[in-house]
Structure 1
Amino acid sequence: MDPLVGSTARETLERVSASLGCDPTDAEVAAHLDQHDPLRHLRDQFLVPKMKDLPPSDLSLVDGADECIYLVGNSLGLQPKTARKYLSFYKPTSGRHKILLEDKAFPSDHGEETLRTDDILEVIEKEGDSIAVVIFSGVQYYTGQLFNMAAITEAGQRKVTDTHFPKLQPGVSGFRLSNQPILLVCPLQASLEVFNMTSMQALRRKSLLLTGYLEYLIQHYYSEDPAQPHKAHVHIVTPSDPQQRGCQLSLSFSVPILKIFQELEKRGVACDMREPNVLRVAPVPLYNSFSDVHRF
């Protein structure tokens, strides 16, 4: 039986651990899942930094020759190896190697931790006649919530009054640019070649278990315990329903987050901190292993 197939991540982990005669939190489970992962070969298509390559790493705590635990797939992601081939014209020097971009390029959101789809649809229905534009990202960058874009789009379209849009080129041809940004196109080409080695169904199947495994371990070790009110704990901000999230889990802590982030960096963990109190962790099925999650 394929160890990556199961009704839920928890059921799969418990089934695998029972077959191995160990606990779901043991490293043997991660090793077994990696061994039977049909996508494990895709990791070889990416450049995984070593511990020593990350400046914050404390080499008294980790082996500099080991691969880092890279969990920033929600933001940057690892570089495909073939991107170098397409970017051969870019030759930074010791004198010219910096990149200039705007400060604070990410928006800030205020309100509840996550948005209820029913609330979104209710606002569209109530205020739709006065709404000119409805803008939603597919995944909320801070919480990792996956929005029901089909329902939101359908609700918005029911309130549309102006349907006299320009008669543009239909289909994908309408999105062509005469001069694509070459620095963006090269890594895109490399990444698409990797995606072409698998399918979205296979990636999603692994992602559900990979992120579910991360969720399982966090809840096992760091859930809030009413019997120990002073014990440090982690709250998962991202929806618990796998159908309402991607691979990212946004974590908030009962202790100051900056210290946690710094200690993770010292141990070669690449993740992402967002003020005021969220750590974003995203194991990517293309290149992250179950052992990465267990080590984290």
Structure 2
Amino acid sequence: MSFQNTLAYAQEQDHQDELRYFREHFHIPRHNGQDTVYLCGNSLGLQPKSARAALEEEMTKWAELGVEGHFTGDDPWFTYHKTLAAPTAKLVGAKPEEVVIMNQLTVNLHLMLVSFYRPQGQRYKILTEAGAFPSDQYALESQVKIHGYAPEDAIIEIAPRAGEHTWRTEDILQAIKDNGNEIALVLMGGLHYYTGQVFDMAAITQTAHEVGAVCGFDLAHAAGNVPMQLHDWDVDFAVWCTYKYLNSGPGGTSGVFVHERHAQNPELPRFAGWWGHDQRVRFKMQKGFIPMPGAEGWQLSNAQILPMAVHKASLAIFDEAGIENLRAKSEKLTGYLEFLINGLHQPKDQLEIITPADPAARGCQLSLLVNKNGRQLFDTLMANGFILDWREPNVIRVAPTPLYNTFEDVYRFGQFLAAHFQG
């Protein structure tokens, strides 16, 4: 695409954008009486204007019906989670019975590891990317310890090559092959939080299965950002949060994918809970856990109705916009951001994009490595109404999100950077 570094060009792109009206569905934070340039959807998505009404509806139901809200009215709480399955499945490329919304991200990751990290004999190791998000690191450390292994032995971390910031797919696949006889599980992020790199989940899954390992993904930064086909890729399981690109509120609920070949297997070991028990006999209060078929069989407790109500409101927006349409706009927005930053012609020791240049290998995020006075630049941007994300030791993450960001947002950010480096 041919870009131009002018306000007129940015405004014309916004005028031609068929998704531009979705911005009106969100509350945009203000700074000094003006809309901020909010480029932080990778950390916390903006509030849909429909979220308050969705919450009020459930609050009213609670006020007027009390406990009967579980069984009466529109979308009774007893089956509320089922209303989220179809739109969720569209987002991640799954069958509705393969997904469930429940708990929070790391809770769900632990539940999946209970079922899918089953070390035996020499096959006890977990392969993951070096520098994974800390919650994943901590979960893996604790899980291998529970099984009696030392993390430094049982966890294989694959790092980029010396002098490179991102991973080469062939290196990941080769590492799986080289350690194939010892690997029980491959667990990686679908999109690396620090660099913004999208991993080749299909190839990684295929290679893991070829060596006899299970394969799962943490999709915290991928869900609602990049289209996926988890079922067709044959992924064993995945987990994600909903408060980043899925705009479902701070600390919001989480999603789980379990491939149908596992989801329909009642003998698969798991931590059991009342809400995962066969709903036909749930209220008989009897011993003997019988899991619900599908991913629902991993539920533990009553559905979190209020967070789910917000998530339902957000999913309706995604359902209307379409993840493929959002991806097309995302590639243009992120490409425009890249064009403007490259146009600054800064030396790498001053400013460097460490996110892959290939649009297929990134989402709507560019990670800017700022080696000199990076924190000072970040603070200056924030003080001037640019809402971004800082990651130690020296990266500013910039995420132009297609649901509510504009080309003019990106242009204004580029202009501010240009003034900073020229000043």
Given the two structures, how large is their TM-score scaled by the length of structure 2? Answer: 0.54
Judge which range, 167-176 or 198-207, deviates more: 167-176
Q: State the alpha-carbon separation in 1 of the partners of residues 136 and 298 from structure 2.
A: 26
Q: Structure 1: which 5+ runs fail to align? A: 1-10, 14-23, 52-63, 91-101, 226-231
Deviation at 1:200, TM superposition (A): 1.6
Change (3 A) 1:235 1:183: farther
CA distance in 2, matches of 1:196, 1:117: 32
208, 225, 237: which is aligned to 1:156?
A: 208
Q: Tell me, yes or no, if the aligned pair for 1:114 and 1:237 is still in contact at 8 Å.
A: yes
Residue 179 of structure 1 corresponds to which residue in structure 2?
A: 302
Whole-Å Cα distance in 1 between the matches of residues 12 and 182 of structure 2? 55
Question: Paired residue for 1:25?
Answer: 5
Instruction: Report the AA paired with residue 54 of structure 2.
Output: Y
Asked whether 1:72 is paired with 2:62, we answer no
Q: Deviation of residue 181 (structure 1)?
A: 2.5
**Where in structure 2 are there 5+ consecutive unaligned residues?**
61-105, 107-132, 138-156, 215-235, 237-260, 267-291, 414-423
Matches of 1:201 and 1:151 in 2, distance apart?
Answer: 21
Tell which deviates more after alignment, 158-167 or 272-281.
Answer: 158-167
Cα deviation 1:202-248 (Å, max 9, x = unaligned): 111111100000000000014328xxxxxx73200101111100001
Whether the 8 Å CA contact 1:114–1:239 is kept in 2: the answer is yes
Question: Could you tell me which amino acid in structure 1 is paired with residue 370 of structure 2?
Answer: F
CA RMSD of aligned residues (A): 2.7
C-alpha distance 276-111 of structure 1, shift in aligned 2 (>3 A): farther
Q: Who is 1:248 aligned against?
A: 365
Aligned partner of 1:288 in structure 2 is 405
Query: Is the 2:180–2:213 contact (alpha carbons within 8 Å) kept by the matching residues of 1?
Result: no
Q: How does 1:269-280 map to 2 (within 5 A)?
A: 269-280=386-397
Residues 1:276 and 1:106: Cα distance change in structure 2 (over 3 Å) = farther
Tell me the matched-pair count. Answer: 246
**How far off is 1:106 after superposition?**
5.1
C-alpha distance in 1 between matches for 2:134 and 2:174 = 30
User: Which amino acid is the alignment partner of residue 2 of structure 2?
Assistant: T
AA in 2 matched with 1:12? S
1:167 aligned onto 2:265: yes
Give the C-alpha shift of residue 159 in structure 1.
1.5
2:166 is matched with which residue? 114
Map of 1:56 onto structure 2: none
1:131 counterpart residue number: 183
1:82 pairs, out of 50, 65, 68, with 50
Give the 3-state SS of the residue equivalent to 1:152 in structure 2: helix
Label 1:49 to 1:173 Cα distance change in 2 as closer, same or farther (>3 A): same
- Is the Cα–Cα contact under 8 Å of residues 47 and 80 in structure 1 kept in the other structure? yes
The 3 A distance-change label for structure 1 pair 143 and 33 is same
Query: How far 1:197 sits from its partner (Å)?
Result: 1.5
Q: CA deviation at 1:44?
A: 0.6
| Structure 1 contact 79–187 (Cα < 8 Å) conserved | no
- Can you list the C-alpha shifts for 1:50-97, whole angstroms capped at 9, x where unaligned? 11xxxxxxxxxxxx221000001112111111111223349xxxxxxx
Counterpart of 1:188, as a letter, is H
**Structure 1 residue 187: deviation in Å?**
2.1
Q: Specify the code of the residue in structure 1 equivalent to 2:51.
A: A
* Contact 1:74/1:282 (<8 A) preserved: yes
The alignment partner of 1:208 has SS state of: helix
**1:236 matched to which residue of 2?**
353
Per the alignment, do residues 180 and 105 of structure 1 end up closer, same or farther by CA in structure 2, a change over 3 Å counting? farther
- Whether the aligned pair in 2 keeps the contact of 1:222 and 1:233 (CA below 8 Å) is no
Q: 1:177 to 1:203 in 2, by over 3 A?
A: farther
TM-score calculated relative to the size of structure 1: 0.76
Which one-letter code corresponds to 1:27 in the other structure?
A: L
**Could you tell which deviates more after superposition, 160-169 or 186-195?**
160-169
Structure 1 contact 249–280 (Cα < 8 Å) conserved: yes
Name the structure 2 match of 1:37.
Answer: 17
- The letter of the residue matching 2:194 is Y
Take 1:287 and 1:27, find their aligned partners in 2: how far apart are those partners?
18
Give the stretch that moved more between structures: 153-162 or 176-185: 176-185
Following superposition, the deviation at residue 29 of structure 1 comes to: 0.7
Which has more strand, going by share of residues?
Answer: 2
Percent identity of paired positions between Structure 1 and Structure 2: 42
Distance 2:174 2:362 in 1: 21
Amino acid at match of 1:209: K
Q: What displacement does 1:136 show?
A: 0.8
Greater RCO between the two (CA within 8 Å, min separation 6)? 1
